[in-house]
Amino acid sequence: MLDIKDISKAYEIIKPIIKHTPLEKSKTFSKLTKENVYLKLENLQTTGSFKIRGAYNKIYNLTEKEKKCGVVCASAGNHAQGVAYASTLLNVKSTVFMPIYTPPVKIIATKSYGAKVILEGKTYDDAYLAAKEYAKKNSMMLIHAFNDEYVIAGQGTIGIEVFEDLKNIDAIVVPIGGGGLISGIALALKTLKPKVKVFGVEAEGAQSMKQSLEKKKLIPLKSTDTIADGIAVKTPGDLTFSLAKKFVDEVVTVNDEEISNALYLMLQRTKLIVEPAGATSLAAILSKKVSLPGKNIVALLSGGNINLSLLTQIIERGMMKNNLLVKISIIANDKPKILRDILTILSNLGGNVQSISHDRGTTSVPVGYVKIIITLQTLGSKQINIIKQAFDQKNLKYQIMH
């Protein structure tokens, strides 16, 4: 079993190549939750996530013979980038297997760090099986994403950093995929400060560690379904499971809507870009899944490598939810100047039109009419109500789309 000496040794090895990422108190989230919420910004880490810590520690500790043969790994993205970058720094050849639905930004980044990328399977577990076979066939070293003592020790260095920066920490909330991150951090913090509470958080559609802990044995999921692709793992490792059993106080889950809301609020209030997996910790705090009023609680933001198309969708949904963006569907007589008249109303009331589309060809639109869908930015619900009143006065048939 690992101990704090392994994590301390890992810290000395990786210190020269990683960032001691900031631990910042958030006034906004502290006020919202009535807790002292601190954000550990691993989204600002080299390669955009915590994964470089474990990957570098593992590859550094390989024998010279193993290094010459090269390394292989499987990853949904962040471990891939950590392995690729660490391998390049240590002059080791790397091959990375990634699921076919991996966001393009992660594939491009992994290649840019020097790895050969092979897309295989629909999930991390599928890619892992392919990587395992490839490593065996080519006599290369397989670098597991989480079920490895050196990897766990590397991730655990975050616990040392957090304790250095916040001696009076009461609790930490950590995202869980395979469990390498939380098991390392929990071991470090529970050793340095035994009374600290360690909470794990999984996506509702990928709660393999939670179910395994409840059943007291490893429970493989049949499938995963979540926007948090970075933690969509079907089965924890036996090493991470045994450490979690010993050191983790509780595991909670958050749904995709709660994750999306946390991402939007971070963008709006803290100006931070965080990927869905990395936002689950804050989502758990904001949704009161973890609630410790008055206590010093750290939300670990584990990564920032988000799919840009998903980010666009989250921003738009967040703006609509907060009445800063609205879509209005209008059924009107298909005659000249009707669009001009509608836009004049919106312009006079200060609506900032973002896009316009027309539909005449569906059966839901009466003959001689047109459906006009207008997307516009607003100043909030008060302005939307004023626009609705103006449309009512003009006897326009409209619907606010949600």
Q: Which domains does the chain have, with CATH numbers?
A: 4-50+148-306 (3.40.50.1100), 51-142 (3.40.50.1100), 323-401 (3.30.70.260)
Cα torsion for 197, 203, 209, 210, to the nearest 10°?
A: 70
63: how many CB neighbours lie within 10 A of its CB? 9
Q: What is the pLDDT of residue 100?
A: 92
Per-residue pLDDT of 142-176, as tens digits, reads 999 999 999 999 999 999 999 999 999 999 999 99
Q: Closest by alpha carbon to 273, among 314, 233, 232?
A: 314
Q: What is the mean pLDDT of the chain?
A: 95
Q: What percent of the chain has pLDDT over 90?
A: 89
The Cβ of residue 364 has, within 10 Å, a number of other Cβ atoms equal to: 7
Clarify whether 302 is annotated catalytic.
yes
- Checking if the pLDDT of 401 tops 90, the result is no
Taking only the tens place, the pLDDT of each residue in 248-300 is: 999 999 999 999 999 999 999 999 999 999 999 999 999 999 999 999 999 99
What is the residue whose two structure tokens read 């990927």?
A: 275
Structure letter (DSSP) for residue 366: P
Q: Is 210 a catalytic residue?
A: no
pLDDT class of 220 with cuts at 50, 70, 90: very high
Spacing of C-alpha 95 from chain mean position: 24
> For position 101, what pLDDT does the model report?
85
Q: Specify the DSSP class assigned to residue 235.
A: S
Q: Which of 26, 40, 51, 234 is flagged as catalytic?
A: 51
Give this prediction's pTM.
0.90
From the candidates 26, 49, 208, 302, give the one annotated as an active-site residue: 302
Digit-coded pLDDT (tens) for 99-149:
898 878 789 999 999 999 999 998 777 899 999 999 999 999 999 999 999
Confidence bin at 235 (pLDDT 50/70/90) = very high
